[in-house]
Structure 1
Amino acid sequence: MTSYRSSLLQLLDERGYIHQVTDPDALDALAERQVVPGYIGFDATAPSLHVGNLVSIMLLRRLQQAGHKPIVVMGGGTTKVGDPSGKDEARKLLTDETIGANIASIRRCFERFLTFGEGPTDAVMVNNDEWLGGLEYIPFLREVGRHFTINRMLSFDSVRLRLDREQPLTFLEFNYMILQAYDFLELSRRAGCRLQLGGSDQWGNIVNGIELTRRIDGTEVYGVTTPLITNADGAKMGKTAAGAVWLNPDLLSPYDYWQFWRNTDDADIGRFLKLFTDLSLEDIGKLESLSGAEINQAKIILATEATAMLHGREAAETAARTAAETFQAGGIGEDLPTLSLGEGMNITHALTGLGFTPSNKEAKRKIAEGAVRLDDVTVNDPGLMLVAGDQPLKLSLGRKKHGLLIR
């Protein structure tokens, strides 16, 4: 690890958040002598963020913990354009009403991780539509567009990879990197923002904003990126067969969120504890040293701490109790996902209805593999009709997915 003097870069470094830093010595000195406002942008393409966004949210939390000011920038303006990074096709264009509803829904998540208010280190949330929505096209091109060369824009991964795959890239999306760079300039002017944080895939966009701010206003600003967060098997964190691991409880229950963390690979325990919990490094070191069956205790602590941060301590402990009752005692926990059978339902549809399988075809395949159990008895008939009585039925897929079937 690099030797930093400021508490901000020390904290980010020792917990594994730093991949690249622009002018680290100057940023380190700035963070030592003043409160540094720093921002991350989030597009509002859905009513919830997902666990792939969590490292960025935790970056803002660490910024605040180190005595600095987090700025959450909601992309009310850039969402209308669509970030081409890592995408093979243009995103569906959303209405202003949908974008506004998504932003309101997403804010509830941030309130779990950050302290908002009017103080010098209190977090604020802003919407970049405030400045992007009022831009006049020709004046904007004259002031900002002249600082971007087509040659360099074509070299960015977000553009080059789309062109290499011969996938269309609209002129609308091509403008995204200019608008994101302009965000940094505006935030520097409006909020004294001196730092942009983000994932490693945003490095080029961050550097664009730094250069634009220096060229137009002469202001020195900085950037920090995190490494790409992958699982031990190399897969991008948060990508599961069942789909996105949402942060809003109406899209993913606290119990299922707890289970996501409980299923962490042994090799990822220490790294994820540093990134996604507030446990001390000393406590994390002790948990990292566990081996054999004891490593499961570290996974339970990771799951409970991560869930408590998002959903509250009570929901996290309820999820942990439910898991213990279901897995250890073979009972039925109080917090399992439920599905109403109505007048009756095919077991294939029940598996898909609970979200255990992405399709009925996959459900039938799991039944054929012998991976499905009803009240702990293996089911072999994909056409089995289920009818709930006074007591709920427990439907299980493998060892880790359990749900209740009710009337």
Structure 2
Amino acid sequence: MKFFDELKARGIIDALSNEEELEKKFNEGGMSFYCGYDPTARSLQLGNLFTIITCMRFQKAGHKPYMLVGGATGMIGDPSGKSEERNLLDMETLKENIDAIRKQLGLFVDFECGDNAAVLVNNADWWQGLGFLEFLRTIGKRFRVNEMLNKDSVKSRIESDSGISLTEFSYQVLQAYDFVTLNKLHNVSLQIGGSDQWGNMTAGTDLTRKMNQNQVYCMTMPLVTDQNGKKFGKSAGNAVFLDGSMTSPYKMYQFLLNQDDAIIDALLKYYTFLSLDEIAELDSKTKNEPHLRLAQKSLAQEVTKLVHGQEGLDAALRATQFFFGEKIENVSDADVASIFEDTPSVELSSEMLNEGGVIDMLSETPLFKSKKEVRRAIDQKGIYINNVAIEGPTQTLSKADLASETALVLRKGKKNYCVVKFK
């Protein structure tokens, strides 16, 4: 299957500025294209990963990616899809975010693969040297305010209670000039991004034609949403970050595993390199045996492995088994905090680990109201430490009972957990 046809079949193309020309160029290879990421956090997230994987597809098809980190635009904030003004970042935080995202992008696109090796660029490099008056004379005069007001990202904000500042109103001008500069310096002729970027992108194609007298193009992809229609993004409050210290491999795996049958086919096409035949087979199995959740498991495994490697996937799978009774051991405090994030916890003195009794410990947790209730539960063989049944009421505690550096996990019955931290 030709590259353009595969993008279409996967549903990756939402809109094109010139479909007939781009179909030919996509199939031929050799285009230089760019995709931008504003450093509003120290990690990109699952919504961004869709565009990153699309960049990987383009690179595999022989196109050259320019991965733009918005050191300049990140100081302002894109109003697209936002209902209110962003909080502006200080320069130190912005720099830390830029450095982190640069390293993160290097985990996915290939920066060393010859003629179409990816290139990292930062739009602060060309914006920092441009004065305000020069900006107005050379760039600002080429924009018409009435056209800018008609952009969806601007119209929705103007009609809202919060309105829009001149700062965010100017964002589309900055993004448009990024395209002009990349076209001039690197012969970049295509910009890709989410469908909420269409207005900013077409502003860039228009400005590049006016300033460089070159024809350039843009392609948008669908915005990825969960089963409730919420955007996979940090601004929507349901962020799944690519940085394992911010979202653990286990949390990422579980998020993907819990996606609805109605959207799983699209997510497999967007986020994995499984063939369309393999995805069709998974779709068929999902319809015939939905309880097995084979498509969700494939999605969770493919994406978690891509982001966190085999080691991260193994850790996620192992953590998942904890809830099926596997002994909890050799994990870190951070792992326990992540895996049992929604579980009640209590902090007790570490002196209790010096041969303290389990009854005393259990009575101090939210799982029990009294020592009498503890004894009854132990007699009924319904209490577990790290998924290992308590032997009896005289059992004592030691550091060997810890699942991590400072914590153990209690279970009452099948589903009632409590994390005990010792300080």
- Bigger mean CA offset, 161-170 vs 256-265: 161-170
**Which residue, 311, 315, 324 being the options, matches 1:328?**
324
Match of residue 25 from structure 1: 20
Measure, in 1, the Cα distance between the counterparts of 2:13 and 2:222. 7
Measure, in 2, the Cα distance between the counterparts of 1:81 and 1:134. 17
Q: Could you give the per-residue CA deviations for residues 104-157 of structure 1, whole angstroms, max 9, x where no partner exists?
A: 111232122111137221111110001111112222212211221111111122
Question: Per the alignment, in what secondary structure is the counterpart of residue 244 of structure 1?
Answer: coil
Q: Could you give the per-residue CA deviations for residues 234-266 of structure 1, whole angstroms, max 9, x where no partner exists?
A: 332357997421110111111111111111112
Quick check: 1:338 aligned with 2:336? Answer: yes
1:89–1:167: 8 Å Cα contact kept in structure 2?
Answer: yes
Question: Per the alignment, in what secondary structure is the counterpart of residue 126 of structure 1?
Answer: strand
Structure 2 residue ranges without an equivalent (≥5): 348-367, 369-381, 387-396
**Which residue, 58, 63, 71 being the options, matches 2:53?**
58
**Which residue, 60, 67, 71 being the options, matches 1:72?**
67
Measure, in 2, the Cα distance between the counterparts of 1:234 and 1:50. 17
Q: Could you give the per-residue CA deviations for residues 56-114 of structure 1, whole angstroms, max 9, x where no partner exists?
A: 11121111121111111000011112111222332222233221210111123212211
RMSD of Structure 2 on Structure 1 (CA): 3.1
1:11–1:62: 8 Å Cα contact kept in structure 2?
Answer: no
Q: 1:295 to 1:192 in 2, by over 3 A?
A: farther
Q: 1:388 to 1:204 in 2, by over 3 A?
A: farther
What aligned pairs does 1:95-106 form with structure 2 within 5 A after superposition? 95-106=90-101
1:322–1:335: 8 Å Cα contact kept in structure 2?
Answer: no
1:338–1:406: 8 Å Cα contact kept in structure 2?
Answer: no
Quick check: 1:391 aligned with 2:402? Answer: yes
Measure, in 2, the Cα distance between the counterparts of 1:136 and 1:240. 32
**Which residue, 310, 316, 319 being the options, matches 2:316?**
319
Q: 1:238 to 1:349 in 2, by over 3 A?
A: farther
Q: 1:251 to 1:239 in 2, by over 3 A?
A: closer
Please tell me the residue identity of whatever aligns with 2:138. Answer: E
2:345–2:418: 8 Å Cα contact kept in structure 1?
Answer: no
Measure, in 2, the Cα distance between the counterparts of 1:113 and 1:232. 27
1:39–1:70: 8 Å Cα contact kept in structure 2?
Answer: yes
Measure, in 1, the Cα distance between the counterparts of 2:205 and 2:383. 58
Match of residue 157 from structure 2: 162
Q: 1:243 to 1:235 in 2, by over 3 A?
A: closer
Q: 1:8 to 1:396 in 2, by over 3 A?
A: farther
Question: Per the alignment, in what secondary structure is the counterpart of residue 394 of structure 1?
Answer: strand
Q: 1:11 to 1:376 in 2, by over 3 A?
A: farther
Measure, in 1, the Cα distance between the counterparts of 2:12 and 2:421. 44
Question: Per the alignment, in what secondary structure is the counterpart of residue 114 of structure 2?
Answer: coil
Q: 1:239 to 1:47 in 2, by over 3 A?
A: closer
**Which residue, 112, 117, 121 being the options, matches 2:112?**
117
1:300–1:320: 8 Å Cα contact kept in structure 2?
Answer: no
Please tell me the residue identity of whatever aligns with 2:219. Answer: V
Match of residue 200 from structure 2: 205
TM-score (ref. length: structure 2): 0.78
Match of residue 310 from structure 1: 307
Identity of matched residues, % = 38
Measure, in 1, the Cα distance between the counterparts of 2:302 and 2:219. 26
Please tell me the residue identity of whatever aligns with 1:326. Answer: F
1:48–1:106: 8 Å Cα contact kept in structure 2?
Answer: yes
Measure, in 2, the Cα distance between the counterparts of 1:98 and 1:239. 17
Q: How many pairs were matched up?
A: 365
Structure 1 residue ranges without an equivalent (≥5): 341-345, 351-366, 368-372, 378-386
Deviation at 1:348, TM superposition (A): 6.1
What aligned pairs does 1:181-200 form with structure 2 within 5 A after superposition? 181-200=176-195
Question: Per the alignment, in what secondary structure is the counterpart of residue 7 of structure 2?
Answer: helix
Match of residue 210 from structure 2: 215
Runs of 4+ with deviation above 6 angstroms? 239-242, 399-403
